[in-house]
């Protein structure tokens, strides 16, 4: 019996790969496999005879509660060149330290990271520094994210914001909600300073200008 070489190699490859039913070379069946013949006699299995496997839904772990008390702010940038040398001296350092003194740990961590990510020239821009603090405060945990409601330590938010609105009147330009959003990420010192700053700087600074200022910086 003469078997074509290419057909033989193809048959060996199919058998080696475990081809179902063996391999039948060519139309004449010159290289029929006994394995194939045996398998052909066995009843074929359909998909319907095998019950489908039910995969369990993946378990998604619950997100941890938001906690602004957990965080470690990095070191603040060192003072740069003086104004005489074309720099801004200790401005970014002082503002960075303000964030650490007046913000909750996690919020301060965000603000300080933002300051450190600025270029030396950008750090001399007070608006950019203030923006770092503002964005961090706007990303603070809300009252509903802490313990399913307003935490005991945040009971004074409304009282402080009402004090600010009474002192500033219509010039405050901030709603009670905006005031709460700003004060939520501040610690006790930061909230005290916010009230003190707004009592004297409602018009020229406002909420955005008084955010996270220490007593020394507010003067």
pLDDT in tens, 122-148: 999 999 999 999 999 999 997 545 444
Q: Give pLDDT, residue 87.
A: 78
Distance between CA atoms of 33 and 156, rounded to whole angstroms?
Answer: 86
Asked whether 105 and 74 are in contact (CB, 8 A), the reply is no
- Say which DSSP state 152 is in: G
Domain boundaries, the chain: 83-218
Distance between CA atoms of 81 and 87, rounded to whole angstroms?
Answer: 4
Q: Cα–Cα–Cα angle for 142, 147, 151, nearest 5°?
A: 70
DSSP string, 74-123: -PPPPP---GGGTS-TTHHHHHHHHHHHHB-HHHHHHHHHHHHHS-HHHH
- Among candidates 171, 145, 169, which has minimal Cα distance to 68? 145
Asked whether 186 and 216 are in contact (CB, 8 A), the reply is no
Q: Give pLDDT, residue 158.
A: 83
Distance between CA atoms of 186 and 188, rounded to whole angstroms?
Answer: 7
Question: Looking at the DSSP assignment, which residues form a beta bridge with residue 186?
Answer: 103
Return the top range by mean pLDDT from 41-50, 65-74, 141-150, 202-211.
65-74
Q: CA torsion angle for 96, 102, 108, 111 (degrees, to 10)?
A: -50
Is the pTM here over 0.75, yes or no?
no
Q: What is the mean pLDDT of residues 67-95?
A: 89
User: Bigger pLDDT: 60 or 171?
Assistant: 60
b/e sequence 105-136, b meaning 16+ C-beta within 10 Å: ebbbbbbbebbbebeeeebbeeebbbbbbbeb
């Amino acid at each position: 019996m003469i078997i074509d070489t290419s057909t033989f190699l193809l048959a060996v490859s199919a058998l080696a790969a475990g081809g179902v039913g063996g391999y039948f070379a060519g139309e004449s069946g010159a290289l029929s496999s006994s394995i194939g013949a045996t398998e052909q006699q066995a009843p074929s299995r359909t998909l319907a005879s095998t019950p489908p496997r039910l995969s369990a839904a993946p378990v998604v772990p619950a997100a941890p509660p938001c906690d602004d008390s957990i965080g470690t702010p990095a070191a603040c940038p060192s003072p740069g060149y003086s104004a005489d040398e074309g720099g801004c001296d200790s401005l970014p350092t002082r503002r960075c330290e303000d964030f650490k003194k007046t913000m909750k740990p996690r919020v301060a961590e965000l603000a300080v990271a933002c300051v450190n990510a600025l270029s030396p020239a950008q750090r001399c821009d007070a608006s950019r520094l203030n923006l770092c603090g503002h964005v961090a405060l706007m990303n603070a945990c809300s009252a509903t994210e802490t313990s399913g409601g307003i935490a005991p330590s945040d009971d004074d938010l409304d009282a402080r914001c009402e004090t600010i609105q009474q002192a500033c009147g219509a010039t405050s330009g901030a709603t009670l909600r905006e005031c709460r959003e700003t004060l939520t990420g501040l610690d006790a010192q930061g909230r005290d300073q916010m009230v003190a700053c707004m009592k004297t700087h409602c018009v020229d600074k406002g909420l955005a200008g008084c955010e996270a200022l220490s007593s020394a910086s507010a003067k």
